[in-house]
Structure 1
Amino acid sequence: MFALYRYRSHRISAPTPWSIRQFRRALGIMIGIGLIGLLFVSLLLPVQAIEQTNTVYLPLIQRPKEPNAFGIETASLNRNWLRDRAESLGSTWVRLNTVSWRDVQPDNAATFNWDVESIQTFESELQAANQAGLTPMVIVDDYPDWATQRDGNAGRCSPIKPEHLSDFAAFAQQLALRYGQDVTYWEMGNEPDVDPDLAFFPDLFGCWGDIDDPYYGGEYYGEMLKVVTPAIKQVAPSAQVMIGGLLLDSPDSNATNPGFGQPEKFLEGILRSGADSSFDIVAFHGYPCYMGANIDADLNHPNWAAEGGVNIGKAQFLKNVLASYGVSKPLMLNEVSLLLCGENPTVSEAFLQTQASYVPRVLSRARSEDVQAIVWYTLEGPGWRSGGLLAGNDSRPSFDAYQQFIKRIGASGRPTRLPDSEYTPQVEAYRFATASGTVDVLWSNDDQTYPVDVFKEVFRGAETRDGEPKTVIGLDQPDTPRVLIEIGFEPVYILR
C-alpha cells in the first residue's frame, strides 16, 4: 500500500537562549545532510535536470500473498468491487496500462506533473494492487507529440525520435525512483512489433514496427532499451525491464501475410542491436479466436498449428531466437484469452463453456514451457471481443475455471507434459507437483470422451473443471485395483 502526502510547513518554536548554540549546530548538521542528499540525487540523474512538483509518493507495506504464475489485466482495479473480484480469483499478477508520459510531460519542458488524472488513477491502482496482494507489471508508453516521429493522435503510436530517447529515459527513471518500492516490473510499450501505418487504435499499441526494415524496427527499439534500461536500474537496481508484449502474429509472415514485412524478426532486431543486456524479460501475447463448440482453437490456429499451437508455438519460437544469439531470458505471456471474432458475433453458452475449458489448457501449456507469468485479458467484461472473465459483477464460466485452476495448482512449479502412455494418446495431460500432492490436468482435444484408469493406491480424487466431484467408476469395488474416469473436452483434475 502507499499514501500520498504533500509537503507542509511546520512552525518551529523559538529556542531558549541557553540552547541557541545547540540549535544552530543541529540546524547546520541538517542543512549539510540535505545538501549531501541533493548532491547524491543529482549524480543519479545524468539524463536531464528535472523540476519536480511538491508531491511525495510514500509506499506502505504490501499484504503478503504466496506468489503464483497467474494474473489478470484490468483498467479499473481501483474500483473496490473489481479489486475484491481480483483478490478472490487467487492470482498474484496484475498488468496496468495507465501511466502516460504524454500527460506527465505534455510539452518539452523540464517539469514533470505527477498530479495529472492518469497518474492519480495509477497510484490508486497501485494501492488497490497492494491491498489485493497483486504484483504489478506496468506498461510505460503513451508518448508526447514533441518526442515522437509523428504528430497528433498518430504520435501515440510512433517510435521516439533519437534526440528524445534521453528524455524518455529521464521519465522512466523518475517513474522507477518514485514508484520503485511498489513496482519491480516495467514493460516498455505494448505490442511494439506493429507498424504505425497498421495501427487502427493508436492508444493500444507501442508501434515501433517498420514494414520496410528487414528486422521490422527491432534494432531501433533495442537502441531505446540501451538508453532507458540503465537509467531505470541506476535508481532501482532490482527493477526488471520487459520487452513490450509482442503481438507475433505468425512465425513466417512471408507465407501468411506477404507484403507487410516480417514482424517476427523484431526480437532478432533487438538482439542484433546489442541490447541483450538491456532487458530482463520477453513478453508476448496469444489470442486464438473461437472456432466452435469443443474445438481447440489454440492447436488449430492457422498460423501456429504446425508449431504446436499459439502459445506453445510462440514460446518455443522466442526461445529459439534468443538461443540463436546465445541469450536466455524468462518469458511472460501477458495477454491471453479466447476471443469471439468476426462481425456482430453472438455470445452463446457454447462459446462461454469452450472459453472456460480453454483456461486450464493455456495455463498448463504455457507453464510447461516455463512461462513465468500468464495474464488474462481482461478481468472485467465482456471485454475486447468478449474475452473478459466477468459479466458486470457476475462470474463467467471462465472466471470459475481460472479460480479453480489456481486453487488446485497454486504456486507449483513447471509441470511435466505426460507421455501418451501415461493415460491414452487421445488425451493431453500435464502433471503438477503441488503443496498438497500431485495433480494431473487432462482433457481430450476433440468432442469425444475417452476412459482413463488410475491405480487406487495412488488415487486421491477427481474433480471437474469447476471443482465439482467427478464421477469415478470402480471406486466402490474392492476387487478392482483401478478406477476408471471419462475424459472429454472439458478439463479434469486427477489428484494422486
Structure 2
Amino acid sequence: MHTTRMQLMIALLLLGVVFGGQFFLPFAQPVSQLRIETGNAQSEVANPGSVYLPFVFLKSPLLTRFGIEMAHVTEVGGLSKVVESGANWIRLNGVQWGEIEPVRYSPPVYNWDALSGLEQELQTAAEQGFRVILVVRDTPSWAQLVAGSSCGPIKPEYYTAFGEFLAALVGRLGKFPYEVDYWEIWNEPDVSINTTNTTYGCWGDLNDEAYFGGDHYGAMLKTVYPYIKQADSTAQVLVGGLLLYCNPTALFQCEKDDDSHKFLGGMLAAGAGPYFDGISFHAYDSFFYVGGAIGMYGNTNWNTLWNNNGPVIAAKAEFIRSVLQFYLVPDKYLINTESALLCGKATDPPGQFPCETASNSAFELTKAYYVPQAYAAAIAADLRANVWFNLAGWRNSGLIYHNKTGRPAFYAYKFAREELRDAAYVGRITESDIGAITGVVGHKFRQGGKIIWLIWSLDGADHVVTLSQAPLAVYDVDGTPIVISDNSLTVTIQPYYVEFPN
C-alpha cells in the first residue's frame, strides 16, 4: 500500500474511533477482494487471507460497475458528459512501451516525457474520483519476436525488461497524484500476429494448434507480475482484454481466428494462474436491421440473440469461468472493458444506413434499450465493472454526438447508473412473477430499500402483465415515469424499470 494512502487510512480510522464512524461491507465483493475506502484513496487487500472492514468516509465516491472508455480525459474529450453520466470507471488505451523505451540501454533509460499528456489526464481523473483501467501495450522494435509487429509478442529474453519497465511505470503512476490501480497488460492479445494493426492484439499464433500463443503470453505474465507487485502490492493486474472472437461450439459460423478461444487455456496451462488478479474481456453485439424494427441484435459468432440469450456478455463470462474452473483457478474477477452495440463496419462513414444517428432511428433506440440490458447482464454475471466502448463511438457505438450532446443511449446509461448503481442481483423474472405470461424476460435486483425489476418483451410483441402488488414507480429507459392503473403493465420491447418496496 502506498505510504500516503496508509497515512490517510490511519487518520480516518482514528477519526472513526473518536466520532463513532460506521463500518460496513461494500456491495457484492468477496472477502478476498475487500476494498479500503478512504475518500478517493482506495486499495484492494493484497493478502486474501486478511480481512479488513472498510471505513467509508462520507464523501467517498460510490463504486459501481459503470464505466466508459475515453480517448482523452479532457473537456474536449467529453469529460463533463462522463461526469454527468455518473460513471465510476474510465479505461484509457494507454501507455506504449515502445515510445517510452525505444532503445534498450543498461541500465534502462525511459522517456517519461512521452507520458506528459497522459499524466495530466490521469491526475484529472483522480481529482474527479474516477477509477482508471490503464492499458499497457506496444513492443519496442528491439524486443519484437516478429519483426515489425509492435502489437505482437515479446522475445522471451526481454520479458524481464518488460517487467522492469512495468515496475518503473507502476511506481510512477500508481501513486499520488495519479492513483492508477488497474493495469491491463495488452489489448486483445488473442488476435493473430500481424504487422498492420497496432492498437489491438496480437499474440495469437496461428501455427500453435494447442494454445494459439496463449502459453507465451502466460509465460510473460509469470515474469512481469512479481515486478508489478513489488512496485505496488495493491496493484491489480488484468489479462489484456480478450476478444474471444469465436465460441468454440459455434466455429462453423466464424470467419477468422478460429482458435482464439484456446488462448486463455494456453495461459493457464503455462502456469500463469497465480500471476494475474482479474480477466478483462470484450463483448460486443451488433444491431440487426429488419425492416426498421427496434430491439434486434446479436453476436452470431457466439450464437446469442436478443430474443434468446443475449446480450453476449453472459455467454463470454460463462465461457471464461468454465476455463478457469477447468484449470482450478476459479477465484478471479472479470471485467468487460469493451461493451457496446455496434452498427456497420469500421470503414463505413458514421451514420450511414442502417446506422442513422437521428434520436428516433431504429438503431439509436435499439442502442438505448441495449444499455440497461447490458448492465443488467453484467450485474447478473457478477462482473466487477462493465465499460462502454466508447464515449464518442466506434462503429456508431457512441453515447454522445459530435457536439457533445447526449444520444438516447447516454440518457439510458445515466438512468441505468442511477437505478442499478449498487444493486445486488436477485434473479431472473419468472413466469410465476408475472402470472404465467410468456414472451417476457427480465431481472430482479435489490437496491437500498427497493426491489427493482428490469423487464421487456422478448418476442417484440406487447404483453399485458398484472403485477401482484402496486409498484412504487415505473420508468422507461431514460427515467420518464410510466403511469399504470389497476397494477396492469404493458410490457414492450423497451425495457422498463419497476420499483417495489423491499
Fold similarity call, TM over 0.5: yes
Task: Check whether the contact 1:211–1:261 (CA below 8 A) recurs between aligned residues.
Answer: no
Query: Would the alpha carbon gap of residues 61 and 257 (structure 1) be closer, same or farther in structure 2, given more than 3 Å must change?
Result: closer
AA aligned opposite 2:397: G
Identify the residue that residue 161 of structure 1 maps to in structure 2.
Answer: 155
Relative to total residues, which structure has the larger helix share, 1 or 2?
A: 1
AA aligned opposite 2:294: N
Query: Would the alpha carbon gap of residues 394 and 429 (structure 1) be closer, same or farther in structure 2, given more than 3 Å must change?
Result: same
Identify the residue that residue 184 of structure 2 maps to in structure 1.
Answer: 187
Identify the residue that residue 337 of structure 1 maps to in structure 2.
Answer: 340
Identify the residue that residue 437 of structure 1 maps to in structure 2.
Answer: 450
1:27-426 correspondence to structure 2 within 5 Å: 64-79=60-75, 82-109=78-105, 110-116=108-114, 119-151=115-147, 154-181=148-175, 182-197=179-194, 200=196, 202-213=197-208, 214-252=210-248, 254-257=251-254, 260-292=257-289, 293-298=293-298, 301-305=300-304, 308-309=309-310, 310-328=312-330, 329-342=332-345, 343=348, 345-346=352-353, 347-348=355-356, 349-380=361-392, 383-392=393-402, 393-423=404-434, 424-426=437-439
Name the SS for the 1:98 alignment partner. Answer: strand
Larger Rg: 1
AA aligned opposite 2:456: W
Name the SS for the 1:186 alignment partner. Answer: strand
Residue number among 444, 449, 473 corresponding to 1:461 in the alignment: 473
Residues 92-130 of structure 1, C-alpha deviations (whole Å, 9 max, x = no match): 0000112111111111122012112xx112112212212
CA distance in 1, matches of 2:375, 2:328: 28
Residue number among 460, 474, 491 corresponding to 2:495 in the alignment: 491
Gap runs ≥5 in structure 1: 1-59, 475-482
CA distance in 1, matches of 2:267, 2:301: 27
Residues 273-304 of structure 1, C-alpha deviations (whole Å, 9 max, x = no match): 01100011111111111102324313x63533
CA distance in 1, matches of 2:344, 2:212: 27
Query: Would the alpha carbon gap of residues 358 and 170 (structure 1) be closer, same or farther in structure 2, given more than 3 Å must change?
Result: same
Task: Check whether the contact 1:296–1:446 (CA below 8 A) recurs between aligned residues.
Answer: no
| TM-score, normalised with respect to structure 2 | 0.80
Task: Check whether the contact 1:185–1:239 (CA below 8 A) recurs between aligned residues.
Answer: yes
Measured on the aligned residues, the alpha-carbon RMSD in Å equals: 2.0
Name the SS for the 1:455 alignment partner. Answer: coil
Name the SS for the 2:335 alignment partner. Answer: strand
AA aligned opposite 1:304: N
Task: Check whether the contact 2:95–2:136 (CA below 8 A) recurs between aligned residues.
Answer: yes
Task: Check whether the contact 2:191–2:257 (CA below 8 A) recurs between aligned residues.
Answer: no
Query: Would the alpha carbon gap of residues 259 and 428 (structure 1) be closer, same or farther in structure 2, given more than 3 Å must change?
Result: closer
Aligned residues: 419
CA distance in 2, matches of 1:415, 1:215: 37
1:79 Cα deviation after fit: 2.8
| TM-score, normalised with respect to structure 1 | 0.81
CA distance in 1, matches of 2:384, 2:199: 24
1:217 Cα deviation after fit: 0.5
Gap runs ≥5 in structure 2: 1-39, 43-58
Q: What percentage of residue pairs aligned between the two structures are identical? A: 33
